Structure 1
Amino acid sequence: MSAQLIQALLLQLPRFAEEEGVFYPAPRSALLNELCQYVEPDAAETALSLLENLLDTLAVLDRTSLQNGEWRFVSYPAQLLASSILTAMSDADSRLFAANFWNTHSIGNERKDSQREVLRWLETARTEHHAEQNAQPIRFIYVAWSLIKLDGRILFYQREDTQKRHDKTAGDYGLPGGRANQNDIGGAADPAQMLAVLQAPNSELVLNALPTTLQRELREEAGLRFDEHYQFSLWRRLQPYRQVQGAAPNHALTEYYLDVYQIELTLEGFLYLQQRVAEDERLVWLTPDDIERGTSDDGKIPYIQALYRDFGGDRAALAAALQQLPDSFNAGYRLLQGNPVFIFPIQPGQPIRAGEPGKDKPLPVTLSRQQLQTLLGLAAHARGFDFKSLQPGIALHAYGWIELTAPGPLQAALPELAAALAGSPLQLECRQDRLFRLPIQPASLYFADALFSFVANPDDLRATTSKIPVSIRRAGLDTAFGQVAPKSEAFSLPLQLVHDLLDLSKNRYPADNETAVKIEDRYKKGLHLDPRFKALGLRNLVRREAGVFKFALPFRTESAD
């Protein structure tokens, strides 16, 4: 019956000349009377109103004429479009697309792109030509994102659509997380209700399911398991926003709801993530500065338009908020009263010294050679020293953690060392009988002076330039974990200061000697503050002991090779 009604209406449509603009309208009452010959008046009115709405949506009818009770096409092409649509609707064998055009199962990118282009054109037109600029969305997406921050950098995950077939400027890296799906939602009585709430605006049921979405996505993208590897809290609920968007071919005017969660890693999660990032090239780190610029130095583009929009387009404000965000893992170093430093001997039989800087005293701890080498390995790794070689069955992690990955002598040596240090300020931290470290700020760990030397070229000492190069060398060190590589750092120092340091190495000056005090002051305001000097693990070059000034290291003069 519907086809018959449309066919009858086609014969009564208004006309517009193909040339010279001649046209005539059709009174709406006449169209209604024609339909009443086939159905009851109420049904005829309903059918005519539906078709009228369709043609009005296509913008083929003149609005003023409609208000005056007439149908009039705005042009001959408009008449053709209306006739084409109505003819197709009245013909049971007519389709605007191939019968399988909208199938999505096992289709290639070409078909997906074709579907997307149709939907994109239609939805873009619907959005742009809305009289009130308030077109209503027909697709609703709920998203959970995570913020994992370590060492001031934010973790990103490479998006699945890496080809970026449609928008070459779109970001290729998003925050770990993703959209809610039907498996995340609890409380829906049946599949029909579940899909209804998932495809509805501002659904409280779906919003409440976003923590489940977060856990699923972090497990899929980064391998992180909730509770074992991390906890989370809501950082920011973004304002819903609308955009003609969607992964092809699911493309439409979409309203997005996004919750961004702050992640707090456990030690196990932190260590696992380090390994996962090293193995999975899809996981990358971007700095807040990268996010503000919209690209990293190596061309990685973050896809976080929703965050940019939520900050009103102020990328600097977003970067500042991310900089203020605490790291997702706290090293958890112990705070010791008085902030003592620890100085480790490199030969057995010598004491470990500890205490406030300049007031250190021997600890009442006696270690065997094996225990000392184990302690030196822990201290060297905590300090970030490079190992030239490493024993099998050991993995080195950040923040001083070492992991026993296979049976070996350290399985007994580390607990024995922990027992030997028990009761002292210097204690080991152990997790799960396989993770060990010294839980002390690395900057508080130093090594005996005998490990270091100060070297200058005799020709440079005779020079007349204002500054000359010198080097401070740290010798290699055998530990229970392997051999620590030697290290040499070069510094440019004032020639006079180098001569004064040489003088201190040869002569004894009382602690109140004015000249020696000035030398110490110049050293402490310069070389002592250099981060490269601090990283060597040497306490200082100039110190006062037993009432006299002391240059701590052997002062060696060596000619260049």
Structure 2
Amino acid sequence: MALKISLSMLPQHAEEGGRREVLSEGELVATLSGQGIPEDTSKAIIYTLRRQFEALSLLDPIDLLNGKWAFVSFPAALLGRSLLTTLATPGQSLLPVGYWGPDAPRGDKEEQRTLLHRIETGRVQLNPQAEPIRVVHVAWAWIRIDDRFLMHRREDKVRPGEKSYGLPGGRFNLDDLPATIQSQPDILKEIFSPDSRIVAKYIKATLERELKEETGLVPGVHYTYEACGHPLPPFRAVNGASNRHAYSSYKFHLYQVKLTYAGETHLLAKISKSQNILEWFTLAEIAAPQRTDGASAYVDVLHQAWGNDFAKRLLEVPDSSASRLTFIGESMMLDLPPTSMAAFQLGKPGKEKATRPAMALEANEWQLLMLLGWHARGYQIQMDPDIDVRLLGNRWIEGRSVIRLARSLHAKIQPILPGLVEIREDCYLSLSISPDTLFFPSDIFRYRIVGSKKAGGRFRLARLDITTPWGCLRGDIYERDVNGNAVAIIRELEKGDDPQGDWERTLREQLGAEVRALGLRRLWSTKGNTPSLIEGLRRMSPASPTE
């Protein structure tokens, strides 16, 4: 009865123009009391109704200060009447039964999210002292290989302006607790507490479950882990996937993962099949608003916790890889042989020593070696789609069909270059060498120099394609403007003359780093105290950019 009386007394507002009625709140209370409703009850009913209208910004705030009700507009009056009519009429509802249920259609859930986002964003923006209504405990895993960090696509769909990737791991849920604890009467209140001791004790189960779901990694078999100190300070934000969206308080527990040998290759194989679900991010890509492909890392909590030390703290994250490279550093620089019959070149620049297997490589062994080298360097490879050999990350290749060939290659190379070829689980193979330590034979490079000592010129260096049974190892081209001194030096080296001055320093400064990045150790040789361009390097023909 009280609600129906209140509905009949609501002030009107003209549909056009600004004319409106004003109703005293005291008159509302008096009317209800006059119908036999106790005054305290009448005041409570009107207060509750006013707070609902006030929270929806339906009533004029100036009039409210004077204890009067007036709708701010005709649409506001419509919404107020719609709400109160529904409340005052038994059996009526604003939404169908099951609208908020767990099995609601996707369209309804998106609508719910939009509604929650609008309400919660407004609540936070308009009320500086607003408190979170959702508590989320999260377990996140650091998986780092070299200078890259593993990220997993967040469970929500891609939304404009929202960051799409987070660290592997996820939210704690009730199933992460033992059954005996799940059945405790007040367990929901416990797990929705930011400082829950039960959650802190069992959050590791969340980490293990989430890593199994997202990466297929099994604890003890594929990895071990340890906590990275204490949980991060609470992080507050209007966030949450799908319709689990509200102003939330997050408590993040960080863990460092150490992969086993089997875990590393298993993970790399999983990533190669993940279709953008699992992605590697560099430190710069994590810190940037987004990558060039539009992907972005959700690490707002880390920025809040670490502030200006963000980059420093990321660099301190230990490497998760089980692999330790055998060939690393200048003294272990290695040039792969130009043919199956030729020698490797090992050692510092200018002090390389030829080393040759006791038994010559077969042609397909040499091709497999080049494939492994190309992939270790991160160069483009156009794989044949009809073969079962797949390129994984971190230098690894997967393919049972080439394991016998790989074992033959390993047997021939192991006595002279122990540990270079690595094979795991009769399925995975790689070269255990740092990319900046590995180079290719000069025979697969072509160069061109144009210009003069007076005007300067332009230098071009090309790495040629190599065809293998598994696909094409794609070449590449580097070119840049060089000063006149560099032009003259290269011209003299072409003729076998001795350039004047500190010519090696000039070439190193002008071309050294870029030449090595293309896979050639260096352009020149001083073997036998006779300066020249490196043996095997040939000029491009005028008709072709690479030949």
Q: Give your verdict on TM over 0.5.
A: yes
Corresponding residue for residue 438 of structure 2: 445
Output the CA distance in 2 between the equivalents of 1:247 and 1:285.
22
Equivalent of 2:333 in 336, 341, 344? 341
Output the CA distance in 2 between the equivalents of 1:321 and 1:178.
21
Task: Check 1:225–1:464 CA distance in 2 against 1; reply closer, same or farther (3 A cut).
Answer: same
Once the two structures are superposed, what CA deviation does each residue of 1:518-543 show, in whole Å capped at 9, x if it has no partner? 3333223322x232x10343332322
After superposition, where does 1:161-560 map in structure 2 within 5 Å? Answer: 161-162=156-157, 169-186=161-178, 188=181, 190=183, 192-235=185-228, 237-242=231-236, 254-266=248-260, 268-274=262-268, 276-277=270-271, 279-284=274-279, 288-289=283-284, 291-292=286-287, 294-300=289-295, 302-311=297-306, 314=307, 317-326=309-318, 328-329=320-321, 332-334=324-326, 339-363=331-355, 365-370=357-362, 371-387=365-381, 392-406=387-401, 410-427=402-419, 428-456=421-449, 460=450, 466-477=455-466, 484-507=473-496, 515=499, 518-527=502-511, 529-531=512-514, 533-553=515-535, 560=542
Verify: 1:104 aligned to 2:101, yes or no.
yes
Per-residue deviation, 1:415: 2.0
Output the CA distance in 2 between the equivalents of 1:363 and 1:118.
71
Aligned residue for 2:505, secondary structure, equals: helix
Per-residue deviation, 1:439: 1.2
After superposition, where does 1:73-88 map in structure 2 within 5 Å? Answer: 74-75=67-68
Per-residue deviation, 1:184: 0.6
CA contact (8 A) 2:113 2:242 kept: yes
Per-residue deviation, 1:322: 3.2
Per-residue deviation, 1:418: 2.3
In structure 1, what residue type is equivalent to 2:395? G
Output the CA distance in 1 between the equivalents of 2:394 and 2:208.
26
CA contact (8 A) 1:148 1:327 kept: yes
Task: Check 1:87–1:332 CA distance in 2 against 1; reply closer, same or farther (3 A cut).
Answer: same
Per-residue deviation, 1:230: 3.9
Deviates more, 1:212-221 or 1:193-202: 193-202
In structure 2, what residue type is equivalent to 1:493? V
Per-residue deviation, 1:155: 4.3
Per-residue deviation, 1:94: 6.4
Find the structure with the greater CA-based Rg. 1
Q: Which runs of 5+ in 1 are unaligned?
A: 11-15, 36-47, 61-72, 79-83, 510-514
Task: Check 1:274–1:420 CA distance in 2 against 1; reply closer, same or farther (3 A cut).
Answer: closer
Per-residue deviation, 1:345: 3.0
Per-residue deviation, 1:429: 1.8
CA contact (8 A) 2:265 2:396 kept: no
Aligned residue for 1:207, secondary structure, equals: helix
Task: Check 1:265–1:426 CA distance in 2 against 1; reply closer, same or farther (3 A cut).
Answer: same
Output the CA distance in 2 between the equivalents of 1:108 and 1:178.
24
Per-residue deviation, 1:77: 7.8
Q: How many residues align?
A: 504
Task: Check 1:380–1:181 CA distance in 2 against 1; reply closer, same or farther (3 A cut).
Answer: closer
CA contact (8 A) 2:29 2:46 kept: no
Task: Check 1:215–1:74 CA distance in 2 against 1; reply closer, same or farther (3 A cut).
Answer: same
Task: Check 1:520–1:196 CA distance in 2 against 1; reply closer, same or farther (3 A cut).
Answer: closer
In structure 2, what residue type is equivalent to 1:397? L
Once the two structures are superposed, what CA deviation does each residue of 1:167-218 show, in whole Å capped at 9, x if it has no partner? x654444443322111111250626454343234421111222222122223
Once the two structures are superposed, what CA deviation does each residue of 1:490-512 show, in whole Å capped at 9, x if it has no partner? 34333443343333343465xxx
Per-residue deviation, 1:392: 3.5
Task: Check 1:116–1:482 CA distance in 2 against 1; reply closer, same or farther (3 A cut).
Answer: closer
Task: Check 1:454–1:185 CA distance in 2 against 1; reply closer, same or farther (3 A cut).
Answer: same
Task: Check 1:57–1:421 CA distance in 2 against 1; reply closer, same or farther (3 A cut).
Answer: same
Aligned residue for 2:520, secondary structure, equals: coil
Aligned residue for 2:411, secondary structure, equals: helix
Output the CA distance in 1 between the equivalents of 2:437 and 2:114.
63
Once the two structures are superposed, what CA deviation does each residue of 1:70-104 show, in whole Å capped at 9, x if it has no partner? xxx944689xxxxx999999x99467767836751
Task: Check 1:267–1:51 CA distance in 2 against 1; reply closer, same or farther (3 A cut).
Answer: farther
In structure 2, what residue type is equivalent to 1:413? L
CA contact (8 A) 1:455 1:555 kept: no
Verify: 1:146 aligned to 2:146, yes or no.
no
Output the CA distance in 2 between the equivalents of 1:320 and 1:149.
15
Output the CA distance in 1 between the equivalents of 2:446 and 2:22.
99
In structure 2, what residue type is equivalent to 1:539? R
CA contact (8 A) 1:154 1:287 kept: yes
Once the two structures are superposed, what CA deviation does each residue of 1:108-140 show, in whole Å capped at 9, x if it has no partner? 46755787788789988998999xx76766543
Task: Check 1:50–1:329 CA distance in 2 against 1; reply closer, same or farther (3 A cut).
Answer: farther
Output the CA distance in 2 between the equivalents of 1:301 and 1:345.
41
Q: Which runs of 5+ in 2 are unaligned?
A: 6-10, 12-20, 52-65, 72-81
Per-residue deviation, 1:333: 0.9
Per-residue deviation, 1:516: 5.0
Task: Check 1:53–1:326 CA distance in 2 against 1; reply closer, same or farther (3 A cut).
Answer: farther
In structure 2, what residue type is equivalent to 1:106? D
TM norm structure 2: 0.70
Output the CA distance in 2 between the equivalents of 1:379 and 1:254.
49
Aligned residue for 1:546, secondary structure, equals: helix
Output the CA distance in 2 between the equivalents of 1:245 and 1:493.
53
Output the CA distance in 2 between the equivalents of 1:479 and 1:553.
24
In structure 1, what residue type is equivalent to 2:505? D
Aligned residue for 1:540, secondary structure, equals: coil
Output the CA distance in 1 between the equivalents of 2:537 and 2:320.
45
Output the CA distance in 2 between the equivalents of 1:367 and 1:106.
67
Aligned residue for 1:142, secondary structure, equals: strand
